[in-house]
């Protein structure tokens, strides 16, 4: 059995905890959460109660010594310390995104993760709807890819179900909606485009008034094959769920979706409109939660299962997907976007960060 420890027991740690518990309960993985740690011991205790026999640890090194794999779910600035501790004891690591609040720390985290089995929490890489969009764009069946528009919005995540109060603190978060949320989106855009952008141009605003924490970002990404635009917004409409709207324009079809997991995808052609639905993994039906929860849960359960399966099959040689090479390109794009925003929107070439 693979022993898992969760470091950071807030919103995202709870989501991962639930996904891991459901995978174990369904017999889909031979793994269990056996340890938790959080700066708030009551929060770590609350999470541990969902995993029979799990032990609450008062320090990270103690937890690392008691597990085989560490799930890093802390605020962004704390990732480096936890990854250092895990790598020092040669433990496998699942590290949430973004890797770090700054480019320099991201390079250090990436270099460390490269020494051990690891996976990065860019979970949209496991979303069937984006795999289908990327396949449609790459196939050539709809003609050449022309442009992609991507809108991502959610309410400012220091409230509601997220409750991540640290996201208003640039020292702990490193940035706002572009880094903390839309690092997913720039990764999906390069997946759909099938290449890295050559340059980006960006503008950001901090409307809510937290220094260094932008809640509006617009980015133009110039790819070899197409143009793409990203609009990322943190608003105060707490009745609205986190949403993504993606439109892929090809010569002979416009493919669009408002769902970041299964779709549907509407494919509009001159002769009419076709509706495509991406299917979840077959094993999702074995999760013991209502269907309305099972499908969204798969967005986190699938990458967790993929990493645990890789560890079970390959041990020290395991590498999860996406790994640090994918994550660092996303960091590179975001870093270039921030540089462009500081320069009044001037185009900035992508590629300033060093390879891990």
- Confidence tier at 174 by pLDDT (50, 70, 90): very high
Residue 123 DSSP one-character state: G
161 compared with 295, residue with greater pLDDT: 161
pLDDT at residue 284, as a whole number: 86
**CATH superfamily membership of 125-279+329-349:** Dihydrodipicolinate Reductase; domain 2 (3.30.360.10)
Element (DSSP H or E) covering residue 203 = strand 199-205
Q: Average pLDDT for residues 299-327, to the nearest whole number? A: 97
Residue whose pair of structure tokens reads 């999702």 in the numeric block: 284
Q: Quick count: other Cβ atoms within 10 Å of Cβ 39?
A: 13
Instruction: Give CA–CA dist 120/307, Å, rounded.
Output: 10
Listed range (177-181, 284-288, 337-341) with the worst mean pLDDT: 284-288
Cα atoms in the 13 Å half-sphere on the side-chain side of 28: 24
Nearest-angstrom CA–CA distance, 60 and 199: 40
Q: What is the pLDDT of residue 288?
A: 82
CA angle 180, 254, 229 (to 5 degrees): 30
Q: What is the mean pLDDT of residues 67-89?
A: 98
Res 38 pLDDT > 70:
yes
Measured distance CA(339)–CA(227) in Å, rounded? 19
CA separation for the pair 173, 179 (Å, rounded): 8
What number is the average pLDDT over the span 283-290?
85
Is the per-residue pLDDT at 272 higher than 80?
Answer: yes
CA–CA separation, 209 vs 200, rounded Å?
Answer: 25
Task: Summarize the chain as % helix, strand, coil (round to 5).
Answer: 40, 25, 35
Q: Beta strands 118-120 and 216-222: pairing type?
A: unpaired
pLDDT band at 290 (very low <50, low <70, confident <90, very high): confident
Beta strands in 76-186 (DSSP E): 92-95, 118-120, 145-155
CA proximity to 70, closest of 43, 36, 24, 30: 36
Question: Domain locations in the chain?
Answer: 2-123+296-321, 125-279+329-349
Closest CA to 234 of 317, 147, 305, 175: 175
Average pLDDT, the chain: 95
Of 67, 73, 72, 66, nearest in space to 84 by CA = 72
Confidence of residue 298 (pLDDT cuts 50, 70, 90): confident
Q: What is the mean pLDDT of residues 143-157?
A: 98
| Statement: residue 353 has pLDDT above 60 | no
CATH number assigned to the domain covering 2-123+296-321: 3.40.50.720
Tokens representing 120 are 């990065």
Question: 139: which DSSP letter?
Answer: H
Q: pLDDT tens for residues 196-245?
A: 999 999 999 999 999 999 999 999 999 999 999 999 999 999 999 999 99
Question: DSSP string spanning 169-224?
Answer: -HHHHSSSIIIIITHHHHHHHHHHHTS--SEEEEEEE--S--TT--SEEEEEEE-S
Using a cut of 0.85, tell me whether the model's pTM lies above it. Answer: yes
CA 135 to chain centre: 20
Query: ∠ CA(264), CA(266), CA(269), 5° rounding?
Result: 160
Query: How high is the pLDDT of residue 354?
Result: 42
- Which range, of 18-22, 156-160, 251-255, 283-287, averages the lowest pLDDT? 283-287
């Amino acid at each position: 059995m693979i022993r898992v420890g969760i470091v950071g027991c807030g919103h995202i740690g709870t989501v991962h905890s639930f996904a891991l518990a459901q995978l174990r309960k369904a017999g889909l993985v031979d793994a269990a959460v056996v340890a938790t740690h959080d700066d708030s011991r009551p929060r770590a205790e609350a999470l541990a109660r969902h995993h029979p026999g799990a032990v609450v640890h008062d320090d990270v090194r103690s937890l690392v010594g008691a597990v085989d794999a560490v799930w890093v779910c802390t605020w962004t600035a704390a990732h480096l310390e936890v990854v250092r501790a895990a790598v020092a004891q040669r433990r496998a690591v699942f590290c949430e995104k973004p890797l770090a609040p700054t480019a320099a720390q991201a390079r250090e985290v990436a270099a460390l993760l490269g020494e051990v089995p690891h996976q990065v929490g860019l979970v949209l890489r496991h979303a069937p709807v984006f795999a289908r969009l990327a396949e449609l764009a790459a196939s050539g069946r709809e003609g050449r890819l022309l442009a992609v528009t991507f809108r991502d919005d959610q309410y400012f995540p220091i409230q509601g179900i997220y409750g991540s109060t640290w996201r208003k603190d640039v020292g702990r978060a490193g940035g706002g909606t572009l880094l903390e949320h839309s690092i997913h989106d720039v990764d999906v855009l390069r997946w759909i485009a099938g290449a890295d952008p050559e340059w980006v141009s960006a503008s950001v605003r901090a409307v809510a008034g937290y220094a260094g924490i932008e809640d509006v970002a617009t980015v133009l990404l110039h790819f070899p094959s197409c143009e793409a635009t990203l609009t990322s917004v943190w608003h105060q409409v707490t009745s609205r769920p986190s949403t993504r709207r993606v439109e892929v324009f090809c010569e002979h079809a416009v493919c669009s979706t408002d769902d970041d997991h299964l779709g549907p995808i509407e494919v509009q052609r001159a002769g009419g409109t076709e509706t495509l639905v991406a299917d979840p993994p077959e094993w999702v039906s074995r999760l013991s939660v209502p269907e309305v929860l099972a499908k969204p849960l798969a967005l986190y359960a699938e990458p967790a299962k993929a990493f645990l399966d890789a560890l079970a099959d390959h041990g020290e040689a395991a590498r999860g997907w996406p790994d640090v090479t994918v994550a660092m390109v996303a960091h590179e794009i975001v870093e270039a976007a921030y540089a462009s925003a500081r320069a009044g929107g001037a185009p900035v070439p992508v590629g300033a960060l060093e390879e891990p």
